[in-house]
A and B are shown apart, each in its own frame.
Chain A
Amino acid sequence: MASHSKPFEFNATLSHLDEGLDTLHESIKKLRQSTGRGEDDRNLMHFEIALAEIGANVLTHGRPSGTDPPVEYRLWMEDDTAHALFVDGGPAVEEVLLRAMPDPTSEEGRGLPMARWLLDDLLYKRDGEVNRWRLVKRL
């Protein structure tokens, strides 16, 4: 008999940095439970690292005045591939995406290069007044 369980999906709005990061990690925990993956699952670990980097970026720079609209967040599975989407109202960031991994002794600037390296796809689009970030990784 075929199984028709509902595919995993998680939706949230993120307003504050600390609570927003808590939500991101909680969503990964739920995804891990839903897919039966262990704590040491390498691909899911890599996805969580990338998600946290992009999420921190979006929560820090995507709400510059702190009173901007909350960030929309969606996490879902399509077959064996994890997808995440962030939509934020911050300034456009195209040039930041092109930065290479900095020198090992640099104190900053490695978050986006790390995320790009860890994901199968990191897609960014400026859509009118919002930024759309799409993270994709086959688990």
Chain B
Amino acid sequence: MSLEVQTRQIDNGVTVVAPTGRLDVAGAPALKDAIGEAVKSEKPRVVIDLEGVSFVDSTGLGSVISALKQIRSSQGDLRLAAPNQQVRVVLELTTLDRVFPYYATVEEALTGF
């Protein structure tokens, strides 16, 4: 099952990246490619919409951390939205929920961004 990633621009300049499928060692490269495109703008603001992500593993998490570093080095920021229960378990287990506060919906993530 490969990871498919759709990207869309919001009116306020935020990029929403929406992966669908498993964000794991097989799918992580697709997310990295999509983030690579999104950070080409100055001070990128990116929301990763996780609603379509059925499962995440440590490599998938690593790709999200890589994205955060890449975006912050460009003076931008990254937010996570709509993780399912399994994704929340992994974020909490690895204490990444302290690095990445996550939002219940994309709309909440976009508020004040």
Contact = CB atoms under 8 A, between A and B. Distances in A.
Interface of A: 17-18, 21-22, 25, 39-40, 42, 45-46, 48-49, 52-53, 56, 60, 101, 104-108, 110-111, 114, 117-118
Interface string B42-64: 00000000000001011101110
A111 B99 contact: no
Contact of B26 (A21, A107, A117): A21
11 contacts: A22-B1, A42-B89, A49-B86, A49-B93, A53-B57, A105-B65, A106-B62, A107-B69, A110-B58, A110-B94, A118-B93
Nearest to B98: A104
B83 to A, nearest CB: 13
A59 to B, nearest CB: 8
Interface of B: 1-2, 22, 24-26, 55, 57-59, 61-63, 65-66, 69, 85-86, 89-90, 93-96, 98-99
List of 5 A-B pairs having minimum Cβ-Cβ separation, nearest first:
A111-B58, A107-B62, A56-B25, A18-B26, A110-B58
Contacts, number: 70
Contacts of B25: 17, 21, 56, 60
Contact of B61 (A18, A39, A42, A110): A110
Given A17-B26, A21-B24, A52-B24, A104 B95 contact: yes
A39 B59 CA distance: 22
A48 to B, nearest CB: 8
Contacts of A39: 85
A49 B89 contact: yes
B58 A53 contact: yes
Given A45-B85, A107-B65, A114 B26 contact: no
Nearest to B85: A40
Given A108-B62, A110-B62, 7 more contacts: A21-B1, A25-B22, A48-B86, A49-B57, A104-B95, A104-B96, A111-B59
Contacts of A22: 1
Nearest to A22: B1
Contacts of B98: 104
A101 B22 contact: no
Contacts of A46: 89
